[in-house]
């Protein structure tokens, strides 16, 4: 069993007494063997799994099988013979186990943005007498863009109202149609109180859509326990589905007959292969499908989800907290010039942390060149993710010392580190 480390107050050298303890935590880690199931390049400490998870070794073999056998030999027969047609529902049921949902409440489809548009359209149609979509400033931009787009398609007095996180609950009233929030903030990692916000929305007759992109596979989520209405999330972060992996959406069973997607694609039809002209929504969560699913994407995602399901979620959540707490404590002691912008209380943040520095972009580029891969978020944030299935305590220790060395040495001031790449 893990033993909670004492807060580190003074660290003067790598071989301090705490370093053997960290090695011991790795040896005692119940998730230690999961690391062997990923392709991890040598000499790299990967702290960006909150943006793109690494490649599970089993994915390569699975996709080779799908391409060579199911597609290459089975051809179109594989929609039936290998049940491609039900893959979005099958993988959705597996994701449901990670987010506190029931079978038949989650489906894999499209992108997070498209799924959010579907749910916003469905929710607004269900509350036609209300005029406010409520969110917060600084929410992930695509969520706000989708809300603007959904509002723009309706000829009415709808408005997108943005309130600071601490005022969201008080801002919910009888004019609120939908509350749309990201459960874990993509920059700060601050966690919204899903239970309290959902309860207040229901008290006033509003619906709530949660974006779980920085939650699923990293922290505990209990959608049904919180009586959540709807949710979306991506598959390429902690679920390790690969770049551009399909996303998922959740609709509580109690709402599925009431809500209908505004994107009425043929895969969401009740009788898609009868090819009739009039749209007839399918029963249950299937009605939120749209076009033909990306089979390679869905099956790649399934490998990552299966890998996660082989570990206990409580072990994942606990290790996530301890990894981030260790890193935050180390940085506070050996690199205090970085300003923590994430909540200091580990129970109030997700599985990444952000630090502010005026030259954050250049510092991150210097870190990446030295083998510590995090990412940068404008205007000045260095962001580090903690992915418990493969990140070790020793990695976090080594990364913290590399951060301190880069910042204190001033090597980041080399002009080449200031050149902005297309993706930051």
**417 annotated active-site:** no
- Name, in order, each residue with C-beta under 8 angstroms of 18's C-beta and a sequence gap of 6 or more: 5, 8, 11
Token pair 């109180």 in the structure block, residue: 193
Q: Identify the CA nearest to 331 among candidates 424, 397, 423, 238.
A: 397
From the candidates 140, 288, 384, 401, which is the catalytic residue? 140
Q: In Å, what is the CA distance from 373 to each residue of 184, 234, 370? A: 21, 21, 8
**383 annotated active-site:** yes
Q: What 8-state DSSP symbol labels residue 411?
A: G
Q: What 8-state DSSP symbol labels residue 131?
A: -
From the candidates 93, 383, 384, 386, which is the catalytic residue? 383
**Residue 175 has which token pair?**
């004019």
| Coil, strand or helix at 132 | strand
**CB atoms near residue 153 (< 10 Å):** 12
DSSP E strands, 190-300: 207-211, 230-233, 247-251
**4 annotated active-site:** no
Residues in the chain: 424
**237 annotated active-site:** yes
From the candidates 211, 229, 375, 395, which is the catalytic residue? 211
**CB atoms near residue 83 (< 10 Å):** 11
From the candidates 38, 117, 186, 236, which is the catalytic residue? 236
Q: Where do runs of H (alpha helix) occur along 153-289?
A: 168-171, 194-203
From the candidates 94, 118, 237, 349, which is the catalytic residue? 237
Query: Is 237 in contact with 47 (CB distance < 8 Å)?
Result: no
**392 annotated active-site:** no
Q: Which residues are catalytic?
A: 140, 211, 236-237, 383
């Amino acid at each position: 069993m893990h033993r909670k480390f004492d807060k580190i107050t003074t660290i003067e050298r790598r071989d301090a007494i705490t370093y053997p303890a960290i090695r011991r935590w790795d040896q005692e880690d119940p998730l230690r063997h999961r690391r062997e199931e990923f392709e991890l390049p040598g000499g790299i400490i990967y702290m960006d799994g909150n943006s793109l998870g690494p490649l599970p070794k089993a994915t390569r073999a699975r996709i080779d099988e799908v391409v060579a056998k199911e597609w290459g030999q089975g051809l179109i027969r594989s929609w039936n013979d290998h049940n491609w047609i039900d893959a979005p529902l099958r993988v959705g049921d597996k994701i449901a186990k990670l987010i506190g949902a029931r079978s038949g409440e989650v489906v894999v489809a499209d992108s997070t943005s498209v799924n959010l548009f579907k749910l916003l359209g469905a929710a607004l149609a269900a509350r036609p007498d209300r005029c406010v979509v409520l969110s917060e400033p600084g929410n992930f931009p695509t969520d706000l863009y989708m809300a603007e787009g959904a509002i723009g398609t309706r000829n009415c007095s709808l408005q997108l109202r943005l309130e600071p996180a601490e005022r969201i609950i008080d801002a919910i009233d009888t004019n609120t149609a939908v509350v749309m929030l990201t459960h874990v903030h993509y920059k700060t990692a601050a966690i919204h109180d899903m239970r309290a916000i959902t309860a207040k929305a229901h008290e006033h007759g509003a619906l709530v859509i949660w974006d779980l992109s920085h939650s699923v596979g990293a922290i505990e989520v209990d959608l049904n326990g919180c009586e959540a209405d709807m949710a979306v999330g991506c598959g390429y972060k902690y679920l390790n589905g690969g770049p551009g992996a399909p996303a998922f959406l959740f609709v509580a069973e109690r709402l599925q007959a009431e809500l209908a997607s505004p994107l009425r694609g043929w895969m969401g039809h009740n009788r898609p292969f009868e090819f009739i002209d009039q749209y007839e929504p399918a029963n249950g969560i299937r009605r939120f499908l749209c076009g033909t699913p990306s089979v390679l994407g869905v099956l790649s995602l399934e490998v990552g989800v299966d890998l996660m399901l082989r570990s206990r979620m409580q072990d994942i959540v606990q290790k996530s907290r301890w990894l981030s707490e260790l890193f935050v404590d180390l940085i506070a002691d050996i690199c205090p010039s970085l300003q923590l912008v994430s909540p200091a209380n580990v129970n109030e943040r997700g599985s990444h942390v952000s630090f502010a520095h005026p030259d954050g972009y250049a510092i991150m580029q210097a870190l990446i060149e030295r083998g510590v891969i995090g990412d940068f978020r404008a205007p000045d944030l260095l962001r580090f993710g903690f992915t418990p299935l493969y990140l070790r305590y020793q990695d976090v220790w080594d990364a913290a010392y590399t951060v301190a060395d880069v910042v204190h040495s001033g090597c980041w001031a080399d002009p080449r580190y200031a050149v902005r790449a297309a993706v930051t």
